[in-house]
Amino acid sequence: MINWRGLYTLFAKEVWRFVKVAVQTILTPVVTVMLYLLIFSSVLSEKVEVYQGINYTMFLVPGLIMMSMIQNAFANSSSSLFQSKLNGSITFVLLAPISNVEFYTAFIGASIMRGIFVGMGVWVAAHAFVHLPVTNLPVLLVFGVLGTGILGTLGLIASIWAEKWDHISAFQNFVILPLSFLSGVFYSIRSLPDFWQNISYYNPFFYMIDGFRYGFLGVSDISVWISMGIVGGFFLIISFVCLLLLRSGYSLRE
């Protein structure tokens, strides 16, 4: 049976952890993304039309929203669990009557919440530049939850593996950031040469961005159902890996 009280308590703790420093965890990412939007929209908005009838700013905003969501979902779970490892407080969580699935669900749920808060903040702030309607809300929610869930899971895996903060930074700088920036946030892969288009198809972040953009604009580079299947399958695979690590106690139980 599920320990609902324990699950909720751990989830609430993780949510409160980032809410009480909202200026750092929510407002700062929104301001950073607005700087991207200010620069790119000012330079390219009237010069580039990615899809017919859709200017570059409308194309750019969904990608920036999703990029900010997934990066902050990763930061939330990775920093929380690794900090608990360093100060030893993870022991108290492991001693509690909470299963590995409940532990995983609480951390990922909090990461999804932070990603959604940041995404909503970016969306509201972006109205100063462009009006962005929602074409398909269910698709938007599915990709938003799956994308932040994937990065929250990768954050847990990175923090379990890491032995010092440099390892977390390396994972973020050499894995998360390159995959994010090369996922079609700032461009359509249709504009790339064939070789780089084919490379992009192996980037799971591309399918998150493309599917999420479809929820706003109703257009995408590939079928939204293909993207949904790939993103959903990737989420299941890395969740399974993460649960195996939690069950083994690797780097958490000494």
**How wide is the angle at C-alpha 231 spanned by C-alphas 228 and 99, nearest 5°?**
120
Cβ proximity of 208 and 183 under 8 Å: yes
Specify whether the CB–CB gap between 129 and 41 falls below 8 A.
yes
Q: What is the average per-residue pLDDT within 29-36?
A: 91
Residues 29 and 71 sit within 8 Å (Cβ to Cβ): yes
Which pLDDT value is given to residue 191? 82
Taking 80 as the threshold, does the pLDDT of residue 45 lie above it? no
Instruction: With cut-offs at 50, 70 and 90, classify the pLDDT of residue 127.
Output: confident
- 233 φ/ψ angles, rounded to the nearest 5 degrees: -65, -40
Q: Indicate the SS3 state at residue 136.
A: coil
pTM for this predicted structure: 0.93
What is the sign, positive or negative, of the torsion defined by CA atoms of 177, 30, 79, 139? Answer: negative
The pLDDT of residue 175: 92
Burial, 196: exposed, middle or buried (Cβ in 10 Å; 0-12, 13-18, 19+)?
Answer: exposed
Break the chain into its structural domains and give their ranges: 4-248
Q: Rounded to whole angstroms, how far apart are CA atoms 173 and 180?
A: 10
